[in-house]
């Protein structure tokens, strides 16, 4: 121990979080003993650490010498007793109180009585965990976020029994690892996960109530809310089983608070083994099972404020969804964004050459078109779609122009986009059928 900084760190659990914590520890020069009772899990966890260090080396975060040194500091161990020399042990086991109690009882008898025992729990009160230790004053929470090598925040949690030295060691270790360390209140979810419960919970309720598909919910959150990941993408990254366990823990610890109840969708995915990226199948990953929500539509039918009018936006959303889906060969789908279909959906005369009359657009429709246009511009076009360079740009520009009340793309917006005639020839698009009367 150098002051409050440990020289030997133990990590209990070689899953996604445990491997990530071990990578951060060896990356900052700490000898790290990675423990897991399952040999195959230990092997996978150690491989994750090595791969992570290799990525840091490729990206220049570590020099070749530093990367080699970090790998030498990693020691996978299959016996808990091997953690005896550790000055700090970070538990990263599944979110089961009985399992954590067993680990802390055993660790109390293995490590030195001055060693600090930390838990990476994301939902169980640290006070509950600490009571299993022989000297509970040396127990604290060190809640890393997934993926631990990338996420800079670290919550340090003081149990009712935690002493000042344990907190000092946790803070010093987190800062040495390059984390922004905050002191959080003990209780279900602490600070960040307490705030994050509605993010996942409401998304699952929207999906269960068939308000939108999981792809749509993720897109809306990214584009409209500015989040880097949607709730279902995040669930797959963290692990559907982990999120399910956290939700059950929240519900139990809050004595059945309705806001935090688990979703039957989570239960179904876990039962089917669709646990997210780590299992190559989850919600957004989508392998190993059928769809989780309604068919891909743009938005639900929106009631017009004018009596007797309904504006059906589904077709436009579906065709635009096809347009921005990688791997689509649009030459085989001349009906994609066909003017007649868009015309029937929106109730306005929309062709590639004449986009109007805009006065008939309902505000909901105008907002949808702007949102979809921005999405096409952001997603862009990949080679697999076999369309002219800049095709996604011209689609996006036209839709954004519509939303802004412009019949034509301005020269400033047009710059860099292909001629509309190229797009029309490729897709076989035509102007709207003049015999179809607008709905609006």
| Angstrom distance (rounded) from CA 266 to CA 373 | 33
Q: Is 292 left (phi over 0), alpha (psi -120 to 50) or beta?
A: alpha
Catalytic site includes residue 122: yes
CA 378, chain centre distance (Å): 19
Catalytic residue check, 143: yes
Q: Which residue out of 108, 122, 200, 263 is catalytically annotated?
A: 122
User: Residue 396, Cβ neighbours under 10 Å: how many?
Assistant: 25
* 266 within 8 A of 238, measured Cβ to Cβ: no
Task: Tell me which of 155, 215, 233, 375 is the catalytic residue.
Answer: 155
What DSSP state is assigned to residue 261?
Answer: P
Cα separations (Å) of 354 from 343, 383, 407, 435?
A: 12, 29, 7, 16
* Residue 155 falls in the annotated catalytic set: yes
123 as an active site residue: the answer is no
Are 126 and 141 a contacting pair, CB within 8 Å?
yes
Beta strand spans in 116-214 (E): 116-119, 139-144, 153-158, 180-184
Question: Looking at the DSSP assignment, which residues form a beta bridge with residue 355?
Answer: 350
Q: Return d(Cα 314, Cα 123) in angstroms, integer.
A: 40
Instruction: Kindly provide the residue ranges of all beta strands, DSSP E only, lying in 315-440, ordered along the sequence.
Output: none
Q: Which two tokens stand for residue 54?
A: 């290799």
Which one from 87, 91, 108, 143 is the annotated catalytic residue? 143
120, 123, 193, 263: which is the annotated catalytic residue? Answer: 193
Q: Please give the C-alpha separations between residue 276 and each of 235, 238, 242, 247, in angstroms, as whole numbers.
A: 7, 8, 10, 16
Whole-number Å distance between alpha carbons of 323 and 167: 53
One DSSP character per residue, 37-48 reads: SSHHHHHHHHHH
What are the CA-CA distances from residue 330 to residues 271, 317, 387, 394, 432 (Å)? 38, 16, 7, 15, 19
Label each residue of 79-122 as H, E or C: CHHHHCCCCEEEECCCCCHHHHHHHHHHHHHHCCCCCEEEECCC
Identify the DSSP state of 295: -
End-to-end CA distance of the chain: 75
Nearest-5° angle of CA 149, CA 150, CA 155?
85
Catalytic residue numbers read 122, 143, 155, 193
């Amino acid at each position: 121990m150098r002051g409050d900084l440990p020289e030997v760190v133990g990590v209990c659990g070689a899953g996604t979080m445990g491997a990530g914590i071990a990578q951060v520890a060896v990356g900052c020069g700490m000898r790290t003993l990675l423990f897991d009772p399952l040999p195959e899990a230990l092997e996978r966890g150690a491989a994750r650490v090595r791969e992570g260090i290799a990525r840091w080396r490729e990206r220049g975060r570590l020099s070749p010498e530093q990367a080699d040194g970090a790998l030498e500091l990693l020691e996978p161990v299959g016996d808990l007793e091997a953690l005896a020399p550790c000055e700090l042990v970070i538990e990263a086991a599944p979110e089961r109180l009985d399992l954590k109690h067993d680990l802390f009882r055993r660790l109390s008898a293995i490590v030195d009585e001055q060693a600090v025992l930390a838990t990476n729990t994301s939902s169980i009160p640290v006070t509950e965990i600490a009571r299993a230790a022989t000297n509970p004053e040396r127990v604290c929470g060190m809640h890393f976020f997934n993926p631990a090598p990338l996420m800079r925040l670290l919550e340090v949690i003081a149990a009712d029994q935690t002493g000042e030295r344990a907190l000092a060691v946790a803070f010093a270790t987190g800062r040495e690892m390059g984390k922004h360390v905050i002191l959080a209140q003990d209780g279900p979810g602490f600070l960040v996960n307490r705030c994050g419960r509605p993010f996942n919970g409401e998304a699952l309720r929207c999906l269960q109530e068939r308000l939108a598909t999981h792809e749509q919910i993720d897109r809306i959150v990214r584009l409209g809310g500015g989040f880097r990941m949607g709730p279902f993408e995040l669930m797959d990254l963290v692990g559907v089983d982990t999120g399910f366990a956290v939700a059950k823990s929240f519900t139990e610890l809050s004595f059945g608070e309705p806001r935090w109840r688990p979703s039957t969708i989570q239960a179904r995915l876990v039962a089917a083994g669709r646990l997210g990226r780590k299992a190559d199948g989850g919600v957004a990953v989508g392998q190993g099972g059928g769809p989780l929500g309604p068919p891909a539509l743009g938005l639900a039918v929106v009631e017009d404020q004018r009596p007797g009018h309904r504006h059906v936006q589904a077709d436009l959303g579906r065709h635009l969804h096809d347009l921005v889906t990688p791997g689509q060969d649009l030459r085989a789908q001349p009906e994609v964004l066909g003017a007649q279909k868009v015309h029937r959906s929106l109730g306005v005369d929309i062709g590639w050459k004449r986009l109007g009359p805009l006065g008939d657009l309902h505000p909901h429709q105008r907002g949808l078109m702007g949102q979809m246009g921005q999405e096409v511009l952001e997603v862009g076009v990949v080679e697999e779609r076999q369309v002219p360079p800049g095709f996604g740009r011209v689609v996006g520009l036209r839709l954004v122009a519509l939303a802004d009340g412009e019949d034509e793309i301005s020269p400033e917006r047009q710059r860099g986009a292909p001629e509309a005639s190229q797009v029309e020839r490729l897709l076989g698009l035509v102007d709207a059928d003049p015999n179809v009367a607008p709905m609006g």
